[in-house]
Chain A
């Protein structure tokens, strides 16, 4: 007689034996093991040639080894599981087994267990392969926990559910092919559903395991996995009930029925727990969004100082905060509103030692004062609270799909987290309101008020706290942070950090990282003593570039868990990653391309040895470090890995906001134009000079996109209605424009001096806009308020006609100089600015070297409405090209580049320097012509209609790109008409055209020309300059022959024009009577 366990084991072993003999399984198993071993060596061994991007986190090895084969594994599993049922049907051998003494439960469960066990053990072989490579062939430490988590949490539920579902469906549908298609289809189709609740295969579930704090959200993640695991078991039990064998054991049946009562409840609880976490999070954010809508950005009181005592108690913080509050308004206050994280529960609030009533709902903490706070008086409030900082409230405006997306690095997923409050790790950005605040996280940095902060932190011994201010170690577990200057906000990070620091001039640069994250050390063995000087020079370069000094006495680079995420906020990319005096780096620099030192070294070996230069090891290290520092922190253009496909979170760690955003308080909520302009302009000056992207030739630049939006709407309107991305683009363009206008009015030198003093003199202080405006008015007669009004509300743009570029040499005393000339007309009713710059021979290869351009001088000129001007600039060296940027204008392209011929000497010519008004009629001499441009209503085109559904579907992808002004790609000419812009295309301000792939004539364009009176007319076609399109003679497409049909009084005529041969400009076709 066999026991339950025995028969279960027997059936399982028998099943395993049969499966092991299946060629399908054998091929899959051996193939996947070998494939993984290869990938492990390729990605994770010390000889790995791939960038760190694919293996920056130590747990990626076991993660990859489980996640990567999982998809195929499930398909094979589903196939073999259906086979199991089919086998029973096909061979009535099962009869002789059915009559054996065993329960249905032990029989079916045994066989299913066999399948599960075999596939599950494959996971362990994958892990074993990984482990061997991890231990013996890789420098990466073994993350043992990850080796346990991935098979059990990622793979097991997927396997159990897939088998359960397959078996169940086989008993219901009884058709192998249908079931396979159904199961695999279901599993794949469900990945993207809300909150990833149906992501059984864990394709997108966040499973990255951080060395800081493990999984991003373990309890929630386990809920989802548990849900599917239990669901799988339920389906298996149902299958057992459906098996065509008379039941044997009553006990087993009682067990199954009881399990079928209990398990669905557990399953529902698991899923509820999972969904509830996200849904209550969304509800919380909705509440907060509503609260913030009615929350005034201009608090009518000020927090002069904070004295925060915080105890890090496991998953909680226990805080006692003393706030010195001052009434700066002209009326007395009887209550105060502050903002505090809803996860924190307030114990008591005291005013001068006496308990006062309060209410804490959502984010808002309302305190009713015992005594009124009179004008210019201050009180001391003591607020005691404790709890778990809930990071679901971060970025309440980000919802829907964007909110639900997990971040990825290749196939690894991480859930965006904003704060951590764990026993081993704590990370609290000010945007999470971990102390009572008066400003909200969505507020523009420059508008936030200053307070004095003192923070005392108690945590468990062995952990290091990092915050702003001078560090005073009180005991092994207590640290005090004392700030001399006022700050807008403070942050707190606690972890098992090791600190390394250097002094670069008077700046302390400190790195806080996990001790084991020191892979970079092997690349910088020689650099040691040189480092302070190097860092100082990089900092100096950056300060020169943006024209501001670093305001803090230390710069801390703090490593944070890989789950850390920050959305864009107020023009600051990844807002929370920069804190006053701090940059929060991703774990092990995982997503920082410039930290892939080994790969960069290899690239340098391959591509960098062109100049036959030899460098010492130290020089190489210096170059590597400089490249890392400038690309990562100071916005130099650099090689970026992955370009979005490999990773969704490449943080922008450019430190320019540290120089301005936390240094000034400028203006108010109602008057923030100047602050916006400053921020945007700084961002622009810190980012690399934009050059044309060769993949998107003819595509819109950010500035052009902004101009299109501004063509008939005001900035004010755009800010209220447009999406974040467009608002940022528009603000960047308009911000920079406003400052250029001031620069033009003040003159370059005065402007530089004015700006520097504005920031330096008012450092850590509040500057009212009025005082800036009055300085500008009194000293330079510039009306800032008027300009700001127009800047914000003007809904018309100027447009420029530019032509007549000339260059020649002139004699200036003993020197030979270069005279450049061109003509600009502004026929619109709006005044405008243009900016002129030059490039000089030899600059083309500058991107291979480091540092600033030799000559990046720019000239600004104002072109008044309706005026024509000649502009002359005299240069000492011969320029190659002139670039005229029309800034904020209707012009498309917004920038004109003209390639000069060699300059000839003209002996008698005098230098013409500057702008002068001329009478320029040429552009108006078109009265006798009728021109139909693609921007006129008389122009039309026919898009081909696809008759075949399949064809339509195939072309759907191509049509997706059919947005206006998508780039011109000579290797992928669209099948549908698409709009592009190039300088040599016809147009007044907008130089655009439609283009499409040549075909059989089904794609037509029509020009309907209005004929003023009967007569003979000449017909011209405007041909663009092929050099604009960078078409090569060989390959890459050509303009080809265009066929025109002209409908005239006597019928129709067909004329061909070979665009490849035609001269750019107007080409005569024929004359006709119309």
Chain B
């Protein structure tokens, strides 16, 4: 199964070009969609989940055209939007039940089994009778993923799922997604948090200002940043100078002053050593230096 995005553009009525001739393919597994705020990630997501019609271009999902075969595509989808919350006065299990029924699980027993299973999986079984909108942010997000998964969708699209979550919740969420990605399923994870992708995705795309900046495995992105990632140990005065001249990724205080990670094509006037970049280094290098 594949999602083929071809020359996709989206121009809003206010002439904001959110997507500009974007083309790439997404295969089964966990796919990361990375980019700064306003890069067009959410627009792309909303187009993919049939909430929005692109201005031009086409999307094929498992051979179905996104515009012509909404019914078939919707039947394959699971979606967790960025700010998910539920209606008031609905219990957790009731909301999932509604989602399950809409997803076509008409058999009551099957539905209950599925809901319980999912609640167990997202760790909310004990909260099943609680009103969904009274749950904490992380728990709500988990209800969201549960409803997205309720129909065991072939395509699961999650938009910024870890934003605002505490580290523990974030890790739990990542693991959950990794678990889900096993089998014939496409999971698209849109995020601006690099860590989410580095630890989970086999494949990714990088969007910037509506354009596709990179498409490939995270490893490839890291590989591209290898010769541009440096570490320096400097005192206070030098740090100020470095901040002015280079793209600083991290500064860590040490006994002699500061240990600074930077990306640069070349370091002049400072003693620097090349280091092994991670995805974060690669992302910054790619966005700020190479792009």
Contact = CB atoms under 8 A, between A and B. Distances in A.
Interface of A: 1-2, 6-7, 10-11, 14, 17-18, 21-22, 87, 91-93, 95-102, 245-249
Given A1-B75, A246-B50, A100 B86 contact: no
Contacts of A96: 79-81, 84, 99, 144, 147-148
Contacts of B99: 96-97, 100
Contact of A246 (B52, B83, B87, B148): B52
Contact of A93 (B74, B87, B94): B87
Contact of B74 (A11, A21, A101): A101
Most chain B CB inside 10 Å of its own CB: which residue of A22, A95, A98: A95
B12 interface: no
Given A14-B98, A91-B85, A91-B87, A100 B103 contact: yes
A99 B50 contact: yes
A502 B99 CA distance: 76
B49 A10 contact: no
A846 B51 CA distance: 85
A100 B87 contact: no
Nearest to B71: A248
Contacts of A87: 87
B36 to A, nearest CB: 22
Given A100-B99, A101-B103, A245-B51, 17 more contacts: A6-B101, A6-B106, A7-B102, A14-B98, A17-B90, A18-B90, A93-B84, A96-B84, A96-B148, A97-B99, A98-B50, A99-B49, A99-B51, A100-B102, A101-B71, A248-B74, A249-B71
A117 B103 CA distance: 23
B102 to A, nearest CB: 4
B144 A18 contact: no
B104 interface: yes
Contacts of A1: 75, 104
**A interface: dominant SS:** loop
B101 A10 contact: yes
A93 B89 contact: no
B159 to A, nearest CB: 9
B8 interface: no
A264 B152 CA distance: 43
12 contacts: A2-B106, A6-B106, A18-B89, A21-B89, A22-B89, A93-B85, A96-B80, A99-B74, A101-B74, A101-B103, A248-B50, A248-B71
A100 B81 contact: no
Contacts of A100: 74, 99, 102-103
Nearest to B144: A96
B215 to A, nearest CB: 25
Given A18-B90, A246-B51, A97 B71 contact: no
B53 interface: yes
Contacts of B52: 246
Contact of A98 (B51, B90, B101): B51
Contacts of B94: 17
Contact of A99 (B77, B90, B106): B77
For the complex of A and B, list the 8 residue pairs with the smallest distance between their C-beta atoms, beginning with the closest: A21-B89, A100-B102, A101-B74, A101-B75, A10-B101, A248-B70, A95-B81, A2-B104
A102 B74 CA distance: 8
A92 to B, nearest CB: 6
Contacts of A95: 49, 51, 79, 81
A595 to B, nearest CB: 53
Nearest to B77: A99
B90 A101 contact: no
Nearest to A249: B71
A97 B103 CA distance: 9
A602 B81 CA distance: 71
B102 A2 contact: yes
Interface residues of B, number: 31
A105 to B, nearest CB: 13
Nearest to B157: A99
Nearest to A9: B101
A10 B85 contact: no
Contacts of B74: 99-102, 248
Nearest to A98: B51
Interface string B57-89: 000000000000011001101011101111101
A46 to B, nearest CB: 43
A247 to B, nearest CB: 8
A17 B83 CA distance: 24
A98 to B, nearest CB: 6
A92 B49 contact: no
A1048 to B, nearest CB: 82
Interface in B28-66: 49-53
A10 B79 contact: no
Contacts of B147: 96
A109 to B, nearest CB: 14
A99 B79 contact: yes
B87 A18 contact: yes
A244 to B, nearest CB: 9
A254 B196 CA distance: 45
A10 B147 CA distance: 16
Contacts of B84: 92-93, 96
A92 B133 CA distance: 13
A321 to B, nearest CB: 70
A115 to B, nearest CB: 14
A14 to B, nearest CB: 5
Most chain B CB inside 10 Å of its own CB: which residue of A14, A92, A98: A14
Most chain B CB inside 10 Å of its own CB: which residue of A2, A93, A97: A93
Nearest to A245: B51
A92 B89 contact: no
Contacts of B51: 95, 98-99, 245-246
A1025 to B, nearest CB: 72
Contact of B70 (A91, A97, A246): A246
Interface in B171-209: none
Nearest to A247: B70
Nearest to B53: A246
Contacts of A248: 50, 70-71, 74
A245 B144 CA distance: 20
Nearest to B67: A246
Contacts of A2: 101-104, 106
Contacts of A14: 98
A773 B186 CA distance: 113
A97 B86 CA distance: 11
A17 B97 CA distance: 12
A14 B96 CA distance: 11
Interface in B234-283: none
Nearest to B100: A10
A93 B50 contact: no
A87 to B, nearest CB: 6
Contacts of B75: 1, 101
A683 B104 CA distance: 79
A110 B102 CA distance: 12
B90 to A, nearest CB: 7
A97 B102 contact: yes
B48 to A, nearest CB: 10
Contacts of B102: 2, 7, 10-11, 97, 100-102
